[in-house]
Chains A and B, each alone.
Chain A
Amino acid sequence: MGWLRHQRYLLDFIIASLLRRKGKNLGLLLVYSLIVFMLASVMLFTHALKREMGQVLQASPEIILQRIEAGRHALIPADYLRKIGRLRGVTARKGRLWGYFYDPAVRANYTLMVAPERRLADSEVIIGSAIARTRGIGPGDYLTFRAHDGEAYSFRVRELLASDTELFSADLVLMSERAFRVSQGVAEGWYTDIVLSVSNPLELAKIAEKLTLRLPDTRPILREEILRTYDSIFSWRQGILFVLLLGAILAFVIFAWDKASGLSAEERREIGILKAVGWETGDVLRMKFWEGAILSLMAFLLGYLLAYLHVFHASASLFEPVLKGWAVLYPAFRLTPVIDGLQVATLFFFSVFPYVVATIIPIWQVSVTDPDAVMR
C-alpha cells in the first residue's frame, strides 16, 4: 500500500514535470508512436497475410506438373496425362488451361483461366472484382479481347467472382475451354499444366520422384513448396520494409538518446533540489524510470493500437503503394485479426526497454552526487 502510494507520488511529479515542456514531450510521444505504428503495422500485416495465405493455400492442388522447354515453362501435351501411367496414391488428374492477358486499355495484366465446372457458354466470361472496378463494367457488359491472331472477340460478363475472394480472384477471367483455345491460340491436345490430387501427403515425395523419372522434361511443384514460397516471400518483404524503416528508426534513436540522456543544467539543478529536500538517490532513479516507462509505454500502446486499426480495419491502406508496385489491379481485402504474441512481445521489449535505460543511465551519474551541491 505504502509502496503504491509512493509510486503514485512519483507519477504525480513526473506528469507535472513532463507537462512543463508540453510541446517537446508531446512531439517526442508522437514521433515515438509513429515509429512503433510503422513497425507494428508491418508485423501485424505480414503475419496476418502469411496466416491467411497458409490457410487458404491448403486447398490448392497437391502437385502441379509443368513441362519445361529450354529452361522455361511450356505447354504440356494432353497425352502426358496418359503417360503418367498408374501411380499409387494419385486420386485425380486433369489438364489445366490458363494464361495471361495484357489489356492495353487499362495497362493491366489479367489471368485467363478455363473453369469447366462453371459451364460457361463460349461467349461468356466471369471476371474478378478488381477487373470490374478498373474497367468500370459489371454483369451484362461486354469485355473485348484482341486475340492472338489479331481478331477481336467480345465476351459477355455473366457474373463477378465473389468480392470476399478477391485476394485470390481479383484479376481472374474465367472462360470456356473453346473460347480460351480459340482466342489464345492453344491447339487441341495441349494444356498449360497438369494437376494431380494425392490423398496421402506422405506419398507426395515418392510420387514427385516417380514423375520426374517417367517424364524427364517436367517439373512437379508440390503444395508444400508453394506454402514455403509464400512463407518466405512475406518474411523477405517484411525484412525489406524493416530495412527501409531503419533510417527512420536510427534518426529517432539519436533524437531520443539526446532527449533522454542529455541532462540540461536545469534538470541537474532540480535533482540537486530534490536530494536536498530529502529524496534519496533511489527516489530520483525511480522517478526517472517512471518518466521513461510512461512515455515509452504510452508510445507503444498508441502505436500498436493505431497499427491494429490500420491493418485490420483500414485494409493496411498505407502499404498499398508498396504492395501494389506497378500493378494496376489490386485486390481489396480485409484480413482476419491474428496476432503473434511473441512478435508483439519482441516489439514491446525493443520499443520500451532501450528508452527506459537511456533515461536512467545519465541520471544515475547525477543522482549519486552529494545533495549539498545546491548550497554551493
Chain B
Amino acid sequence: MRKSDPLLSLLALLAGLFLWTLAGSTRSPQAAAERLDPVRRLVSELGLSDPALFTEARYTRHLSQADLHSAFQDHPMALEHFPSGSLLAPPRPATHGRGE
C-alpha cells in the first residue's frame, strides 16, 4: 500500500463528513421549524421577549426590557455587563444576600 492511500481515504472521509454537515443544515428546514413550535407557542402565550440564557441579573435576563443604566441590581455577585464592571467590584451587601 502506498503512503498516500490512507491519507487520501482519511481526507475523503473528513471532507465527506464536512459536506454532510453543510448539506445537513439545508436538508430539513421544515423539521427544524417544527422543533421550535412549542417554544414559539409558549413565547406567544406569555408574551416572552427574552431567552432565559443569562439569569444572573434583570438587565441580562430581560435584555430588551431593562433600563440598561443600572448595575448590580439583583445578584450580589452578578458579573457586570459593562466594561466598567471589570474595574468596579460589586458592593458588599450589609445583610447576607438580598430578598431575605
Residues of A bordering B, CB below 8 Å: 8, 11-12, 15-16, 19, 52-53, 55-61, 64, 66, 68, 71-73, 96, 100-104, 107-109, 111, 113, 115, 117, 128, 130, 146, 161-162, 164-172, 174, 193, 195, 221, 225-226, 229-230, 233, 294, 297-298, 301-302, 304-305, 308, 323, 325-331, 336-339, 341, 344
Contact = CB atoms under 8 A, between A and B. Distances in A.
Given A104-B100, A298-B14, A55 B55 contact: no
A325 B69 contact: no
Given A128-B52, A166-B52, A301 B35 contact: no
Contact size range, B: 35 or more
Interface string B22-46: 1011000000110110111111111
Nearest to B96: A104
Contacts, number: 190
A130 B51 CA distance: 13
A15 B50 CA distance: 52
Contacts of A57: 43, 49
A328 to B, nearest CB: 7
A198 to B, nearest CB: 13
Contacts of A113: 46
A193 B48 CA distance: 12
Nearest to A194: B47
Contact of A326 (B15, B67, B79): B79
B89 interface: no
Contact of B17 (A174, A193, A305): A305
Interface of B: 2-4, 7-8, 10-11, 14-15, 17-18, 21-22, 24-25, 32-33, 35-36, 38-58, 60-67, 69-70, 74-75, 77-79, 97-100
Contacts of A327: 54-56, 75
B22 A339 contact: yes
Contacts of A328: 55-56
28 contacts: A15-B4, A15-B7, A55-B33, A57-B43, A60-B44, A60-B47, A60-B49, A61-B49, A66-B65, A100-B58, A102-B97, A109-B58, A111-B55, A164-B38, A167-B52, A168-B52, A169-B52, A171-B55, A302-B14, A305-B14, A308-B21, A323-B54, A325-B79, A327-B55, A331-B53, A338-B32, A339-B24, A341-B22
Contact of A102 (B10, B63, B74): B74
Contacts of B32: 336, 338
Contacts of A233: 63
Nearest to B22: A339
Closest A-B pairs by Cβ, 8 of them: A102-B99, A301-B14, A170-B52, A327-B56, A11-B4, A59-B44, A339-B25, A59-B40
A336 B55 CA distance: 22
Contact of B39 (A11, A56, A171): A56
Nearest to A47: B25
Given A302-B14, A305-B17, A325 B56 contact: yes
A167 B53 contact: yes
B53 to A, nearest CB: 6
Contact of B55 (A71, A108, A174, A195): A108
A202 B18 CA distance: 41
A226 B100 CA distance: 33
Contacts of B53: 167, 323, 331
A111 B61 contact: yes
B4 A12 contact: yes
Given A102-B98, A167-B39, A221-B49, A12 B3 contact: yes
Contacts of B66: 73
Contact of B25 (A53, A59, A338): A338
B21 A107 contact: no
A255 to B, nearest CB: 23
Contacts of A130: 52
Q: Which of B8, B43, B51 has the most CB of A within 10 A?
A: B51
A104 B75 CA distance: 10
